[in-house]
Chains A and B, each alone.
Chain A
Amino acid sequence: MKKSTMADPFAQVRKEKGFATVSDQDDPVTMMLRLKDVRKCAHNAKTFSSEDIPGRIVVPSEVNIRTTRQIPFEVDPPKHKGFRGLLDPWFKRPLENEYKQKLHSIVDKLVTENLAGNSVEVINEFSLVLQSRALTLLLNTPFEDSIQWISWGTHVFRSEGDALDGDKAQVLYDYLDEKLDQALANPTDDLFSVLLGAEVDGKKMSKEEAKGVLILTFAGGRDTVINAVSNSIAYLADHPESLKRLRDEPEIRGKAIEEFIRYFSPLTHMGRVVKEDTQVCEHAAKADSRISLCWASANRDETVFENPNEIVLDRKMNPHVGFGFSHHNCLGATHARQILSTLIDVLCDKVGSIDLLETEDNIEEWDDFHRKVGYEKLVVKFNPK
């Protein structure tokens, strides 16, 4: 098995049963493992709600470490639609030429700096740096703000044992409070000020609501982007023929990005709270229990994807749910896709090959399921073209 391979721990249970109940603190979760079931449950927000006690739809549950509701993530339709209507245009800005050019120069500079000849630890020295610098574009804040975000490290919202740690999350909450107070005193044209000045369904957005949006842009877009970038680099290092193909056939790069998202599935699953007694996959689901939509398993569903465990760079039919599905599909997807597309362009342009020197896998554990989601440590050497 190659070092960059990411196995599918759900295959057997998905085939035989379609769901699995795993423990999480005192609030077990029934994971939905098949693509069709995941989609149906995601679409049926009435029965499978995102709007419960703040933090409850996250697995592991965050109910003990936060009270701020994340927006639009923990709001059900129809209220959800008002927030998305406000946020969607802002989060589509990555399609604008000026944004693309700025992102290109961020990526180009970072790759060029790392071509000098020494080995690079990708997670901390490359992906975290890229994610943080790119986020300044999405939030429309000064580039220098990224210095502080980088200094928080990759584990800022997690503690060492991966269990959730309230003190660490507090770093972000304090930071956001301070930034929002500054924006109230001196409004600018960054996302902090835009949110504070916004109205949703005729009502002015409160500071608490603005904070709820921002937590998500910081936390939701952090590990996911870091894993997507790092896993892409590990894969291209391990598969020089793929780097060559992407260089020779630029027209398949868009498809390759969707395939990376499917195969890597940077977000494994997300929970919902069952609002009325029902059945999922012929299994009783009681009101007030939790299910989760397992994007990672759905994305390897062998009844939908041919050769699900292979990266097929130009996969034509790829109905993956790596960015979620239906109402709550990923608000940051345009930004994330633009990061990956710029990264591939720059790598094809500047890098001849990548040596994979050292890897230490980052494994998530959901009872008996052990899933590689990325790397704790990834050392490579970029060789100039």
Chain B
Amino acid sequence: MAKITFITTDDENITLEADSGSVMALAVENGVQGIDGDCGGVCSCATCHVHVKPEHMSKTGDASEIEQDMLELDDNVNEFSRLCCQIEITEDLDGLELTVAG
């Protein structure tokens, strides 16, 4: 099991638990404000953009080139940006904190 915390743009803290699937799917199933997941997770819509807590970057790893190309043109991009449909849930993510980029 991994506990993952989402901080929404209205500063709401939501902690959810799961052991598989994508982080985007977890957020959408639980109605996390600002994560829409329009394309269902194939890296085409960028409606699942989050900022990873800086010290947690090693948990999530880096974005692939295709994901980076998508993020590059997103208005709220920074060095901690990820499209969370591209993050698979595993034990290693336990304690992860993500801020919805909105």
Q: How far is the CB of A229 from chain B (nearest CB, A)?
A: 19
Docked complex Cα distance between A318 and B70 (Å): 11
* Chain A residue nearest to B42 in the complex (CB): A318
The reply to whether A317 and B40 form a contact with Cβ atoms under 8 Å apart is no
Task: Tell me whether B1 is interfacial, beta carbon within 8 Å.
Answer: no
The reply to whether B66 and A258 form a contact with Cβ atoms under 8 Å apart is no
Q: How far is the CB of A59 from chain B (nearest CB, A)?
A: 23
Contact residues in A for B44 (Cβ distance below 8 Å) = 258, 318-321, 323
Contact residues in A for B42 (Cβ distance below 8 Å) = 255, 258, 315-320
Task: Tell me whether A15 is interfacial, beta carbon within 8 Å.
Answer: no
Task: Tell me whether A7 is interfacial, beta carbon within 8 Å.
Answer: no
Task: Tell me whether B38 is interfacial, beta carbon within 8 Å.
Answer: yes
B35-51, CB < 8 A from A: 38-45
B62-92, CB < 8 A from A: 64, 66, 69-70, 73
Docked complex Cα distance between A321 and B43 (Å): 11
Q: How far is the CB of B19 from chain A (nearest CB, A)?
A: 17
Selected contact of B64 from candidates A43, A258, A317, CB within 8 Å: A317
Contact residues in B for A323 (Cβ distance below 8 Å) = 44-45
A302-324, CB < 8 A from B: 304, 315-321, 323
Say which size band chain A's interface belongs to: 20 to 34
Q: How far is the CB of B92 from chain A (nearest CB, A)?
A: 20
- With A333-B38, A334-B38 known to touch, is A317 a contact of B69 (CB < 8 Å)? no
Contact residues in B for A337 (Cβ distance below 8 Å) = 38
The reply to whether A39 and B40 form a contact with Cβ atoms under 8 Å apart is no
Task: Tell me whether A239 is interfacial, beta carbon within 8 Å.
Answer: no
The reply to whether A319 and B40 form a contact with Cβ atoms under 8 Å apart is no
Question: How does the 8 Å CB contact mask read for A319-342 relative to B, with 1 for contact and 0 for none?
Answer: 111010110010001100100000
* Chain A residue nearest to B37 in the complex (CB): A254
Residue among A43, A319, A323 with the most chain B CB within 10 A?
A319
Docked complex Cα distance between A36 and B43 (Å): 14
Task: Tell me whether A155 is interfacial, beta carbon within 8 Å.
Answer: no
A238-278, CB < 8 A from B: 254-255, 257-258
The reply to whether A326 and B73 form a contact with Cβ atoms under 8 Å apart is yes
Selected contact of A40 from candidates B40, B41, B43, B73, CB within 8 Å: B73
Selected contact of A36 from candidates B38, B40, B69, CB within 8 Å: B69
Q: How far is the CB of A203 from chain B (nearest CB, A)?
A: 25
Contact residues in A for B38 (Cβ distance below 8 Å) = 333-334, 337
Docked complex Cα distance between A315 and B41 (Å): 11
Q: How far is the CB of B99 from chain A (nearest CB, A)?
A: 22
The reply to whether A254 and B64 form a contact with Cβ atoms under 8 Å apart is no
Contact residues in B for A257 (Cβ distance below 8 Å) = 40
Docked complex Cα distance between A319 and B64 (Å): 12
The reply to whether B73 and A317 form a contact with Cβ atoms under 8 Å apart is no
The reply to whether A43 and B40 form a contact with Cβ atoms under 8 Å apart is no
Q: How far is the CB of B57 from chain A (nearest CB, A)?
A: 21
* Chain B residue nearest to A254 in the complex (CB): B40
User: Could you list some 15 contacts between A and B, CB below 8 A?
Assistant: A39-B69, A254-B40, A257-B40, A304-B66, A316-B42, A318-B39, A318-B44, A319-B42, A319-B43, A319-B70, A320-B44, A321-B44, A323-B44, A325-B73, A326-B73
- Other contacts beyond A40-B73, A317-B43, A319-B43: 9, CB < 8 A: A255-B42, A258-B39, A258-B42, A258-B44, A315-B42, A316-B42, A317-B66, A318-B42, A333-B38
Nearest 9 A/B pairs, CB to CB: A254-B40, A318-B42, A43-B73, A258-B42, A319-B43, A319-B44, A320-B44, A317-B43, A317-B66
